[in-house]
Structure formats: C-alpha cells, structure tokens
Homo-oligomer: A and B are copies of this chain.
Amino acid sequence: MLQTRVIQPADNAYQAPLLIKRLLLSGSRYEKTREIVYRDLVRYSYLTFNERVARLANVLTNAGVKPGDTVAVMDWDSHRYLECMFAVPMIGAVLHTINIRLSPEQILYTMNHADDRVVLVNSEFLPIYQGIKGALTTVEKTILLTDGADKTADLPNLVGEYEQLLAGASPQYDFPDFDENSVATTFYTTGTTGNPKGVYFTHRQLVLHTMGMASMMGAVHTPRLMANDDVYMPITPMFHVHAWGVPYVATMLGIKQVYPGRYDPELLVGLWKKEKVTFSHCVPTILQMVMNAKAAQDVEFNGWKIIIGGSSLNRSLYEAAKARGIHLTAAYGMSETCPMISCAHMNDELLAGSEDERTTYKIKAGVPVPLVEAAIIDADGNFLPADGESQGELVLRAPWLTQGYFREPQKSEELWEGGWLHTGDVATLDNMGFIDIRDRIKDVIKTGGEWISSLELEDLVSRHPGVREVAVVGIPDPQWGERPFALLVAREGHTLDAKSLKEHLKPFVEQGLLSKWAIPSQIALVTEIPKTSVGKLDKKRIRLDIAQWQEAGSAFLSTL
C-alpha cells in the first residue's frame, strides 16, 4: 500500500458513517407531506412514513430482534415492504427479501441458509408458509401481514398482526450508529445449476449505490430520469435487488412513491393514471404486457420515463413504447451488482448524429455510472481493447458489488477471480464508454468455428412483423457442434412460418449484419416462452423442452 498521509479518525471528530438512516432523514426533511401509496388501500405522508419506520423498529426490537439477526419478508410490493427496507437495517439487523416466485422447496432452502430469525408473512402466502414451517430450522417468531380483516393465523410464536403491532408501538426510536460495513440486506439469486445463492449488501454499499443512481438519473441524463418532482412506481419486485435499489433513491429525494402490490397489467395502468406516475423501471416483457393491457388501449402514456433492464431492450419495443409516449432508457446490472452498473447516455457526439444512430445507442446497456469501472477480458483473463469490436467477458469494479455468495467460498472465489467481478456476460466496450451486451457466456451459440450471439439473433428475428416473442438457443449438432433454434410466439392476425422467417433474415445476411450460419436451423411455434422467476427467458428450460420435443418428433417443429 502506498504511504499516503492517511487520517486516523480523531476520537471526537464524528465520521458520519454511511448508514441507511441518513437516506430516510434526507427525504423526510425535504418533503413532509408527499405521499407513500399502496394500491387503493393505503396512503400516508413522509412524516407518517418516518414514524411508522420507528414504530416497526420498536416492534422488532420488542420481538427480540438483535443487531446481526436476519429478518425475512414475504409480501407483495407494499408500503410495509418499504418500511422493512428501512427499519430492519436501521436497527442493525439484516433484511432477507424472500423471492416469492421460487418453489416452496427453494424458499425453505433460502430461509434456512440465511438464518432467518423473524419472518413477516403476508396472509396470502400462508399456504406456502404453512407447508414449509415445520422444516424451518432458525425461525423463532412470525409477524402477520394482511390487506384484509384477518388479524391472526395459526402460526407458531405469532407476535401479532403488523398494523396492530405498529399502532401499539412508540413512534420514536433512537437509531444507533454502527460500522457502515454492516450487512443490511440479503436475497437469493437463482443460477442455471445448484441451489439459489445469497448475495448481500452493506449499508455503505446501498448508500453509495443510492448516491450513484441519484447523480446519474438527476445530473447526467437529459431529460433527467428521476428527481424530486417525479412520481415513482416500481414494476420490478422488491424481493429482487430491492426493486433495483430505487426505493432508497426515491426516499432520499423525498419522491412520492406508489406500490402496486402485484404486477397485474390492468392494475398497473389504473395506478399509473390515478396517481400520475412519471417514473418506473421494469423488464421488457412486463412493459409489453402493460402496453397491451385492456385498460391501456386508448391511453397515451405521455411523460412516463421507464428504465428497462433485466434483459436487453430491442429496437421494436423501444419504437413501440415511443409511439405510446413512453421515454425508455436501457440500463444494465445484475443481482450481484446492487444492481445499477450502466445506463444509456446521449453524449455530444450522439446528439450531433442521426436519430437512428441515437436509437441504436439508447438500447445498448449504456455507459457505466459514476464510480463504476468496466473492462472486458478474454478466456485467459487478458484485457481486450475498447474498440467496439472485441468481445470478451464483462468484468466490473465498483463500491457496491456483493463481496461474494453467503457461505459459498468457492463460488465467491470464482465470482471475483483476478480481483474483478465476473458478470458471465459477453460484451463489447466502445470508445464512448458504451457497454454492449452480446450474450450470456453460456448462451452464445458455437456453430462451426463461429460464435453467434443469441441476443443479436433474437433482435433481428423480432423485427419480423409476425413475431411477438422469440428465444434463440443453441442445440447440439453432430456436424457443427451447435445450431441455432428459434422458439417463436406469433402475433395475432399474422402468419409466421419457416419460409417467411428465412425471407425476413436474408436481407440481414446480404447487408453483412448476420452470418449465413446464424440462420436458425429449426423453429417451433409456441403460445408462451418459459420465463424465470424474475421474468427473463429461461433458456435452461427451453433447451430441455426442445430436447424432449425432438425426441418425441413433435409435429410443430419446422426446419428452415
């Protein structure tokens, strides 16, 4: 280590550790009367929000929650979830946001693995919870959440019902200071193999992520993406990377927040209208569903700014959203990265260029946000040039990346091999700082000596007017190693077959945008494409399905 002049913190000079409580202090100071809204059920001010967080902290402390303990939540996206995102870490405990879309067995695994002590469970999840409670090894107490009239349930060591408990608790709590490197949150990410893996973030990391996002959304992006005068509604679940960390940003800025419970498109459109939502974030699939909702048929979504992440944003969705008045911005991140890594930025060079070129850049993964460093490496770990051409694994450094997977030392080692976080994504970097994700390393299709990006192929296929959804995977081929296979959902009222797809792709081959070898060998028309619990294409499942169909000689497979 260099011999710089390092300050030894003086005993009396208060160092103001980076703690989540400072984010709540900020928002509640800026705006006392702004609202937190939960569907059409709950509505209160930041002043009340502040008090309710203190009440919840008292409830948890009275229930025996100690600093370092893990408190788990199973709830729809709600004001209660938001309160937990503050109260639990602010007393020094760890918030475990349970992924309610996992199987009961996986939920059980994560709860035992995370050492959950106290669980807050929504009555609607009791059927799942009752089924696993006997096998829970660390849970001591339960708190019931409900939107209905049920104020009790048959649960061991039930402390009580959330609202009744809050009503009986003091609205004052002297939130302590502690080490900013204390774990604040944890949740589980599902890979293609093995058990879900627990990632975790400290107070310091969440505060820095919040500042980085606020700087990027407010001061870099034009027009600004989110600011004090916006109305925020998340459309990615709070169990998944704390709804991308945006509730922390929104709270720091004192923004009105609208929590929709579950992601029913009709409900979301209704809330958008009623609450005058101006900012959201979601994966492409759900945006498509929202735009197709019945309630959205005659709606111009003017002024709605949406960050798209989770999967790549294709040009046709970007254009379709724009035609409906929605300003989309692509961003990139993953569970392990808190998640924000990069976001589209229109720099002076792009602003001077054509609209078409700008669109090309608006749908890329974007430019790293302040404090993030990105690089690409080859299979041997050598750094590759940022020339927009060289493809390699995207690796990252930033002050808000998970330090590993909880109790998985070997997987943690692999994640951080060489001192960079390995994303598992193949990308290019260009001289304007843009990251362009080409594929997941394991989804790249290796045919002959060539690598084909399944994402690029999906983008070109999706431009066929008859394609509503598409997934491309590589399937084993004795001659070529792998060959591309396209799973397609047809758009109503359009015809879609192997011949018309081939005709559609030919011009791209002629323009040099697509190699001849990349034209899929086979397609299948289906009514739905399998998705993971967070709405991404489930390529592992797709490969299994295709293998079964091939074995069975299914009639709906066509050869191009």
Binding site for B on A (CB under 8 A): 1-7, 9-10, 12-18, 22-23, 25-26, 29-34, 66-68, 92-94, 176, 178-179, 181-183, 200, 202, 207-208, 211-212, 214-215, 217-222, 224, 226-229, 249, 252-254, 345, 347-349, 367-371, 373, 397-399, 401, 403-404, 412-413, 416-417, 419-421, 431-433
Contacts and interface: CB of A to CB of B under 8 A. Distances in A.
Given A4-B182, A14-B401, 15 more contacts: A4-B68, A5-B94, A5-B182, A7-B181, A7-B183, A7-B202, A10-B416, A18-B208, A22-B370, A26-B369, A214-B218, A214-B370, A220-B254, A221-B228, A254-B347
Contact of A9 (B2, B403, B413): B403
A179 B419 contact: no
B2 A67 contact: yes
Given A371-B22, A399-B18, A219 B219 contact: yes
Given A202-B7, A403-B10, A16 B397 contact: yes
A432 B30 CA distance: 7
Contact of A228 (B26, B222, B368, B371): B222
Contacts of A178: 1-2, 4
Contacts of A26: 368-371
Contacts of A229: 222
A412 B9 CA distance: 12
Nearest to A33: B348
Contact of A347 (B10, B30, B369): B30
Nearest to A252: B370
Among A17, A208, A347, the one with the most B-chain Cβ atoms within 10 Å of its Cβ is A347
B416 A12 contact: yes
Contacts of A13: 401, 403-404, 412, 416, 421
A23 B349 CA distance: 21
A12 to B, nearest CB: 4
A353 to B, nearest CB: 12
Nearest to A221: B228
